[in-house]
Structure formats: C-alpha cells, structure tokens
Chains A and B, each alone.
Chain A
Amino acid sequence: GAGVSQSPSNKVTEKGKDVELRCDPISGHTALYWYRQSLGQGLEFLIYFQGNSAPDKSGLPSDRFSAERTGGSVSTLTIQRTQQEDSAVYLCASSLVPGGGAFSYNSPLHFGNGTRLTVT
C-alpha cells in the first residue's frame, strides 16, 4: 500500500510568511508524529497525535508552530511568521500503534520523505 505522503516536497518562503505542511499517514495508522531535522542535528520531536486523544505538543519550539489532525488522518503543520532558523526538513511519521503501551508488539515508525523548508 501507499506509504506516508508529505507535501510539498520543497518549500521556499520569505521571512515573515506563514507556511502549511501536509502529512497523509498510512491508512489505519492511529499514531502520527512530526519531527524536524536540521543540518548536522538529530531529529527534533515536535508533536504527537494518537487517535482522538489530546496531542502531545511538548516539542513545539514556539507559539508560531501549530498542528492539526483532521478526522484522525491527514495532519497539517503550520508555521506562522517564519524565521530563518525555521529552515529544516520537516518529517512526518505514522505507526499502527504508538510504539509503546500494553498492546504494542512490532509497531515501527514509517516516515514520509519530508518537506524541505527554506526561509529566505
């Protein structure tokens, strides 16, 4: 079946503009993660959605960042008033179950190819 799909693959924007990044997870996957990967840095956790539970927003770096997940499927990450330090690859991942908890056995993360964001 189809993997995790992210769009756009590349986005160039001017400083101060808002951007929206989209993630379409694998059908049936209840857990969805957003990570950010900057050059020479490890992956930085941003936000986590699981089913209908309240999202874990503990990784969002500022209030300019927000994310939604509609209908338990597609997710949108929005960055308002972009800054140059927001330039990075934004990766989305989904899994069948969260990868933890009593019912997890083999629930690997499946990643999309990411959106490369460049803020000029």
Chain B
Amino acid sequence: KQEVTQIPAALSVPEGENLVLNCSFTDSAIYNLQWFRQDPGKGLTSLLLIQSSQREQTSGRLNASLDKSSGRSTLYIAASQPGDSATYLCAVRRNTGNQFYFGTGTSLTVIP
C-alpha cells in the first residue's frame, strides 16, 4: 500500500515570499505524481503532473520536482500572492493498480 504524507499541514506566509510544499510517499514504484489545489467548497484543480521518468515540471510561478528514489516531491511557489491561498494536495499513481493515492494536503494562507 502507498502512504502519502504532506508536511506541514498548514502554512502561513506574507505576500511575495517564495515557499516550498513537501510531499513524501513510501513506495517508489510510481507511474506519475500530480499536484492539485483545492479551494473551499470546490473540487481539485490539477496544477502539475510529473511522469516517473521526469525530474521536474514548471508552470508559471510553480515548479514541481520529483525524486523517486527518495520518495519525495516538492512544489515551489515563487512570489506568492493572496490568490494562492488554498489547500495543496499531491497524489501518486503506482505502477500497478488503478487508483491515485492522495496526501491530506497543506493548507496555505498568503497574507496581503
């Protein structure tokens, strides 16, 4: 079974700061890893997807890295804005089976 952990559970930063969110997983035999954001009362929005053969993906101010051997991924957010406030979740897809395994998320608050 795949266990996915996200630390910290909550994070509060002033606007403009760069920040890093962490995701760790126990089984390195993964097919891909996705980062999502979830706004209150909403579903999840996909931010970045990293295939197991990739080391990082970038989209705008977001950069996600993947170190499969150590079971870790990070989501780097540059120049944070109040609109970045949301819960960020990571999910991994193992090489076998159909489901994605989700962490419990990091709740981010960016203070204006």
Query: Footprint of B on A, CB under 8 Å?
Result: 4, 6, 33, 35, 40-43, 45, 48, 50, 56, 58-59, 91, 93, 98-100, 104-114
Contacts and interface: CB of A to CB of B under 8 A. Distances in A.
On chain B, which size bracket covers the interface?
Answer: 20 to 34
Contacts of A45: 99-101
A42 to B, nearest CB: 4
A56 B98 contact: yes
Name the prevailing secondary structure of the B interface residues.
strand
16 contacts: A40-B104, A41-B104, A45-B99, A56-B97, A56-B99, A59-B99, A91-B43, A93-B43, A99-B100, A104-B31, A107-B49, A108-B34, A109-B91, A110-B46, A111-B44, A112-B43
Given A41-B104, A42-B4, A42-B105, A109 B98 contact: no
Contacts of A110: 46
A87 to B, nearest CB: 15
A50 B98 contact: yes
Closest 9 pairs between A and B when the two form their complex, measured CB to CB: A111-B43, A108-B46, A45-B99, A43-B102, A111-B44, A48-B98, A42-B104, A113-B43, A100-B31
Interface in B28-48: 31-32, 34, 36, 41-46
